[in-house]
Amino acid sequence: MTRIPALALTLLLTPFTLAAQPAPNPAPVPKATPAKPAPPDTSLHQLPVRQVILYKNGIGYFQHTGQVNGNQHVSIDFTSAQLNDVLQSLTVLDLNGGRIAGVNYNSTTPLAEQLKALSLGMGDDPTSTELFQALRGQRVEVTGAPGGPISGRLMSIETRTTPADNSSDNSSRPPQERFYLTVISTTGQVRVIELTPTLSVRPTDPALQSEMDRYLEMLGSNHSTGLRHLTLNAIGAGQRSLSVSYISEVPVWKSTYRIVFPKEATGQAIVQGWAVVDNTVGSDWDNVQLSLVAGAPQSFIQPLSQPLYLRRPEIPISTTAMTTPQTHEAANQPEATVDAQMVNNQLIAPTRATKMAMERDAPVTTFGVAGAEGLGGTVMHGNYGGTMNRNSAALATPPPIYSPTDTTTDVSTNAFDDFFQYDLTQPVTIHKNESAMVPILQQSLPAEHVTLWSERESIPFRAIWLENSSKLTLDSGSFSVFSNGTFAGEGLLDPIHPGEKRLLSYAADQAIRVRIPKSTSQSILRHIAIGNHGQLTRRWASQSQQTFEVTNSADDSRTVVLEIPRKSNRTLPAALKPAETAPGIYRFRLAVDPHKSATLPFADEGFETQSFQLHADQDQSQLLEEVLREALDPTNSGHATPDSTSADLVSRVRAIESAQQQIAQLKSQIADIQKKSDELTADESRARDNLTALKGNDAARRFIDALNRAEDALEANRKQTADLTAQLKSATDKLQITIETTSLDWTQPTAIPQ
């Protein structure tokens, strides 16, 4: 819908002020009358946050604790983005005999639902035309119109399009839309007034003015995000402890490390770890116990804070004709159920309210939560803020109870489930919309400078072989290396658990070159087995040899770590020992002097297996010949060297091969006879056709003789085919029995050349 130009619409808005009335002073009490006890304290108290546990998946566990006395209202502030998480995980414990009567918060009904309560009938983004449509029939006062002010009822608003004007100053003016109001005055006069910027329309009905005021307030409040105030009504006697915990979305905390090598090589490096923490929630963290958990428990978001409206089906009112009254026979009396009871000798079923009253005294199970103890440390504050990320949400339950086990400097670590946790031993303070760097580690750890080479990379890397001898798990993150008082490089590390040793690369090493001048491989058949109903299995012994040549062009010596792929089903010779073995690689250490070269001979050996099924009705002679050739000539020298150990193998394989060839010959003979029979049948058919055409002719006798000869030949072929088919079946059955009953286990006596 086209919006009309700006219009000065004057609305008389009557403000309403609700002032709290002070409680009347109590009347003077005679001295003989004892003084009344002071009323309970129902004022609003803030409950500060005392414990924060941050997880790697962008959620945080928060615990507020404080003291309450008697009946008190306690409040906690949240951002609107936190509310869904809080409602999903909120746990409130009023200890020492107290109880929580209720939890309230300032909700936000969807604007569309709020506007339904108004009689204006306008949406959340109305046009000026829709506004005047809502005022139709109302009394208004119009000023700024030609002829003076007008009072009356607004009848309608309409649009008129003026034609284009091409007559003035050789310039054209496109068609324009103009808006006109129709007002009927109190005397019945009808006035049509064009809406102009100087026109003012004011409703005169106070009730309508109030509706307009409420409408504008709803539009204004819809743009206000602000804080959410959660109010807890704690009821009890005396002083008690109150604990409130919940899960909320927070920015992911990050780990970063510094690895500093001294000028004199000691085999140690100072490893300093920091955690970057952002506070973007609705309250300050003043002297809180902070824990950082390197884990990502499952979490999700449900819009619990959003009022939901379900669409109900609309059932039409029945308008069918009424039927005449009828009588029906009575049914048999049903037997009483367990839920029914006898009242005044009548069987009465309990109502829903009665059942709820019966279940009201059912036992209620309660539970408590406890967080880790001992947090803190020195904090470097940075007021660089942070933003919310709505990619994760709250846990369905609070974290389990755990206690510190290991402590290093100002940080202790816990391990629970599949996670590990840093607990700062000193409280920290991080105000809302601020960030901080929190120290989690500073300790000397065994570290060695090496050069790392791998076939997967084109250039070697400078690396640190770091051993985590601390009692803390190093979380994944970035690290920077400082050597000889200057920056040397940076990289990334995966989690390193206590006792683990890890290679961390941080820069390219241009002084090291690696090449492979020699590489050989061979496979020798070592084992043949026949069994399992004719399955023939071959096993080869495989061996590969490589020589790695490393050249060092630097002025100082290098320790080069060579990463060589580790193949499945392969082992290393007993004399070859890697410095470290990973799931898919071997790591060998090689020391290379300045401006020198060094070599590393490498070899591995293993077995490869291949199987195929022997068949009685297939000619597998070529495959069987290949098996015998590999068995008799394992080095592929071209000279077979059978011996006594291979005689049984050759005999059995040759027998199966010969039987398969015999069966193949029988199949070939049967196919040839069938081909001849097909030719004779075709000749017979032609002779029969000719005989029919020459019926009664002397030449027909020649075709009769041909038919007789063809019949004789076909009969002979049938007998021969039947005989060959019987021979084929006998040979196939015999070979099948041989294949299924053959058991052979042969091992090659020739060793693999070293």
For residue range 43-64, list pLDDT tens digits in order: 567 788 999 999 888 889 999 9
Q: Give residue 30's pLDDT.
A: 47
Residue 232 contacts residue 244 (beta carbons within 8 Å): yes
C-alpha to C-alpha distance for 144 and 9, rounded to whole angstroms: 12
Among 118, 103, 79, 386, which residue's Cα sits nearest to residue 230? 103
Residue 428 contacts residue 290 (beta carbons within 8 Å): yes
* DSSP collapsed to 3 states, 381-430: EECCCCCCCCCCCECCCCCCCCCCCEEECCEEEEEECCEEEEEECCCEEE
Most distant pair of Cα atoms in the chain: their distance:
163
How many CA atoms within 13 Å lie on the side-chain side of 690? 16
pLDDT exceeds 50 at position 3: no
How many CA atoms within 13 Å lie on the side-chain side of 201? 23
Residue appearing with tokens 């010959």: 665
Which has more pLDDT, 234 or 137? 234
C-alpha to C-alpha distance for 405 and 604, rounded to whole angstroms: 44
Which has more pLDDT, 127 or 735? 735
- DSSP character at residue 476: S
What are residue 463's DSSP bridge partners? Answer: 450, 505
Among 420, 424, 427, 496, which residue's Cα sits nearest to residue 465? 496
pLDDT average, residue stretch 641-661:
84
What are the φ and ψ backbone dihedral angles of 352, each rounded to 5 degrees? -60, -40
C-alpha to C-alpha distance for 711 and 694, rounded to whole angstroms: 20
Contacts of 259 (CB under 8 A, 6+ apart): 269, 270, 271, 272, 447, 464, 466, 479, 480, 481, 482, 504
Residue 386 contacts residue 239 (beta carbons within 8 Å): no
Three-state DSSP class for residue 713: helix
- DSSP character at residue 496: B
Query: Which CATH code fits 111-161+176-222?
Result: 2.30.30
C-alpha to C-alpha distance for 120 and 186, rounded to whole angstroms: 23
pLDDT average, residue stretch 449-458:
90
What are residue 735's DSSP bridge partners? Answer: none
Give the CA angle between residues 374, 379, 383 to the nearest 5°.
135
Contacts of 275 (CB under 8 A, 6+ apart): 253, 254, 255, 256, 292, 422, 437, 438, 439, 440
Helix (H) or strand (E) holding 270, with range, is strand 268-279
CA 649 to chain centre: 58
pLDDT average, residue stretch 324-344:
44
pLDDT exceeds 50 at position 738: yes
CB atoms within 10 A of CB 211: 18
Q: Measure Cα distances from 474 to 259, 275, 371, 478 in Å.
A: 13, 11, 22, 11
Residue 403 contacts residue 396 (beta carbons within 8 Å): no
Q: Give residue 394's pLDDT.
A: 33
Token pair listed for 387: 């933003």
Q: How confident is the model at residue 325 (pLDDT cuts 50, 70, 90)?
A: low
* DSSP collapsed to 3 states, 291-352: EEEECCCCCECCCCCCCCCCCCCCCCCCCCCCCCCCCCCCCCCCCCCCCCEEECCEEECCCH
Residue 1 contacts residue 130 (beta carbons within 8 Å): yes
Q: Give residue 358's pLDDT.
A: 38
Of 48-62, 364-378, 712-726, least confident by mean pLDDT is 364-378
Contacts of 440 (CB under 8 A, 6+ apart): 255, 273, 274, 275, 292, 377, 411, 422, 424, 472
pLDDT average, residue stretch 733-747:
91
Residue 585 contacts residue 572 (beta carbons within 8 Å): no
Of 15-24, 78-87, 475-484, 714-723, least confident by mean pLDDT is 15-24
Q: Mind listing the pLDDT tens digit for each residue in 166-223?
A: 665 555 677 778 888 888 888 888 888 888 888 888 888 887 787 787 777 766 665 5
Q: Mind listing the pLDDT tens digit for each residue in 393-443?
A: 333 333 333 333 333 446 665 554 556 788 888 899 999 889 999 998 899
Q: Mind listing the pLDDT tens digit for each residue in 494-516?
A: 989 889 999 999 999 999 999 99
Residue 560 contacts residue 548 (beta carbons within 8 Å): no
